[in-house]
Amino acid sequence: MRIIDVREITQPIASPIRNAYIDFSKMTTSLVAVVTDVVRDGRRVVGYGFNSNGRYGQGGLIHERFRDRILEAPPESLLDENADNLDPHKIWAAMMTNEKPGGHGERSVAVGTLDMAVWDAVAKIAGKPLFRLLAERKGREANPKVFVYAAGGYYYPGKDDAALRAEMRGYLDRGYTVVKMKIGGAPIAEDRRRIEAVLAEIGSDAQLAVDANGRFDLETGIAYAKMLRDYPLFWYEEAGDPLDHALQAALSEFYPGPMATGENLFSHQDARNLLRYGGMRPDRDWLQFDCALSYGLVEYLRTLDVLAQFGWSPSRCIPHGGHQMSLNIAAGLGLGGNESYPDLFQPYGGFPDSVRVEGGHIVMPDLPGIGFEGKSDLIKVMRQLAE
Ligand SMILES: [Mg+2]
């Protein structure tokens, strides 16, 4: 059993939207394939992965360093104890050979993307859905029912309150019970008006979360906290710079409701610093680390260990990114749910074709691997890369 090839192609996932910090008009993603010599059900096992939106494709790093380290490692050194499957932890260690600690920049995205493909292959070789494999290995019961919320409410040219309300109404019509909109890309009075428009639209049918994408300095973050606490929000997300833990801690004195952050922290060490210094409250706040941006599931398991050390339940995690990898982790390891972008970042994000959102939840189908084969537009693009 061995990995015979690792392929990567950088694809556009451009969209004319913007948040408070960036626009997505030139956004790209890396699509990767880990090709094995294993055959299951008459077909060669290929694991697939892609990087989560918001960070760019990683072709440079993958082709210069990480691909070769996997292919040059002795094949038997990448297998698990019984030599009947690949070992994601050993493959991870091979990829990170000769990488210094710290500085978790773009490299965590490249490794996270390849790690997704490795886990897809491992679950396919085992012949089961990844979420069931993860639950089994952890000695717990899988729960295929996963909470999902609709992330949208971006700024884009010509979008008025009526269009924003219609967008949110559309998410409710599709079964979501929590919707999210961007703030911080407009003056505070305008954002207040947008928030009130959405709250008037959704009434008691759903709850609203808001996301500042790390835009605010302390003064602005506090001004928004004072404005936002007038409303019953689901959460106030990423107010300040992702690494400014003192700012996050200070805000908790002005905002008694739930806050969320973590999508731009890319390692278990960074997660630990957030819990040490960010003033996050385990009884109400939410953690949004996205494994596809932060060295993959091998590293995410370490992050979950850090959470346990600090008294946090995995159920306080609702990852960023809207991909099926995090859905599997949620269903297998008991996370609180997953983000979802109903109309964006296609064909990568979203659910298998048979899945519907009902009452704010989806039910994971029993597909081998991560489940990409159940999403026809996505698997078509994937197979063009490697099959
Ligand atoms: Mg966000």
Q: Which residues pair with 286 in a beta bridge?
A: 260
| Alpha carbon separation from 243 to 18, 249, 263, 275 (Å, rounded) | 22, 12, 11, 12
Largest Cα span, the chain: 62
Alpha-carbon gap, residue 379 to 216, rounded angstroms: 39
Cα–ligand 1 centroid distance for 314 (angstroms): 19
* Amino acid at the residue 38: V
pLDDT at 104 exceeding the cut of 90: no
**Cα of 279 from ligand 1 centre, angstroms:** 19
pLDDT tens, residue by residue, 229-249: 999 999 999 999 999 999 999
Q: How far is the CA of 185 from the centre of ligand 1 (A)?
A: 13
Q: How far is the CA of 139 from the centre of ligand 1 (A)?
A: 32
Contact in structure between 121 and 86 (CB atoms under 8 Å): yes
Distance 356 CA to ligand 1 centre (A): 23
- Going from the Cα of 213 to the center of ligand 1, the distance in angstroms, rounded, reads 5
Indicate the pLDDT class of residue 115, thresholds 50, 70 and 90: very high
Confidence of residue 19 (pLDDT cuts 50, 70, 90): confident
Q: How close is the Cα of 263 to the center of ligand 1, in Å?
A: 6
Phi, psi of 316 (to 5 degrees): -90, 0
254 C-alpha to center of ligand 1: Å?
A: 20
Q: How far is the CA of 52 from the centre of ligand 1 (A)?
A: 12
Burial of 120 (0-12, 13-18, 19+ CB in 10 A): buried
Return the closest-CA partner of residue 114 out of 78, 159, 74, 161.
78
Confidence of residue 74 (pLDDT cuts 50, 70, 90): very high
pTM of the predicted model as reported, rounded to 2 decimal places: 0.97
Question: What does the pLDDT read at residue 114?
Answer: 98
- Amino acid 99: pLDDT: 97
Q: At what angle do helices 324-333 and 296-309 cross, to 10 degrees?
A: 40
Q: What is the pLDDT of residues 190-230, one digit of tens each?
A: 999 999 999 999 999 999 999 999 999 999 999 999 999 99
**Catalytic machinery residues:** 182, 320
